[in-house]
Amino acid sequence: MEQVSANRSHGGTQGVYTHQSEATGTPMTFSVFVPDHAPGARLPVLWYLSGLTCTHANVTEKGEYRAACAEHGIVLVAPDTSPRGEAVPDDEGYDFGKGAGFYVDATEAPWSTHFRMRSYIETELPALVGEHFPVDMARQGITGHSMGGHGALTIALRNPARFRSVSAFAPIVSPLSCPWGEKALGGYLGPDRAVWAEYDACALIAGGGRLPALLVDQGEADSFLDSQLKTHLLAEACAAAGQPATIRMQPGYDHSYYFISSFMAQHVGWHAERLSV
């Protein structure tokens, strides 16, 4: 692991790092904010998964989380959304290929060689962060935006013992039910929709998956709400399964980081309540 940069901010250190990933077979870049802390202390960690077209830099530069993380003593880790490099296959569309890994392990050629973001996020990166940073891996939360919200929900549902808290900003709640999801899951995993279900939050909840605590914020002025995000499907799945969830529709807010940054401190504080013990 190599340090790309380090900057003091809000009583902590914002770092950017790169390493050679075994999961993706490419260099991967991620950012970590570490609040000032007592020597030897281990801090809770909050994972933030980004959306389509994004890298670690979007939330790092525009997420406005550092003051809240410093206040609550939480480390925030923001990985990339896909493998990168000349050897990595790509697609002409913004919603598939580089920048659009969908947090799956691809099984279809040519994507299966490098697009293994599920293994990277669930296994490889946590091991690396646990080795090199002052984190308490018994106190983990996860959040994300849009495609990253989909990633946060599905990763947490598949690993219920790992995360004490789960939240999302404008998540894709059911890739089985929207064009983004159909293109990505069909391309990465093939035509068998039954295989897609382990990457669909609504299907996982209907199949018995549960979350310890769930907070979702969704902008009512989001241009993707009706066609891609379909927040009502998550509300219906949670209600049918008895899954407690706080799903807040926010009037006037869109899909951008103006929306995310407006509620980021609330999400960090909400996670802190559940990660403090």
**Residues classed as catalytic:** 146, 222, 255
Alpha-carbon span 84 to 57, nearest angstrom: 14
At residue 274's C-alpha, the angle toward residues 131 and 174, to 5°, is: 85
DSSP string of 149-218, one letter each residue: HHHHHHHHHH-TTTEEEEEEES----GGGSHHHHHHHHHHH-S-HHHHGGG-HHHHHHTT---S-EEEEE
Number of neighbours of residue 33 by Cβ within 10 angstroms: 24
Are 87 and 98 in contact, with CB atoms under 8 Å apart? no
Phi, psi of 199 (to 5 degrees): -115, 25
Read off the DSSP letter of residue 4. Answer: E
3-state secondary structure of 76: strand
Among 71, 231, 45, 28, smallest CA distance to 133 is for: 45
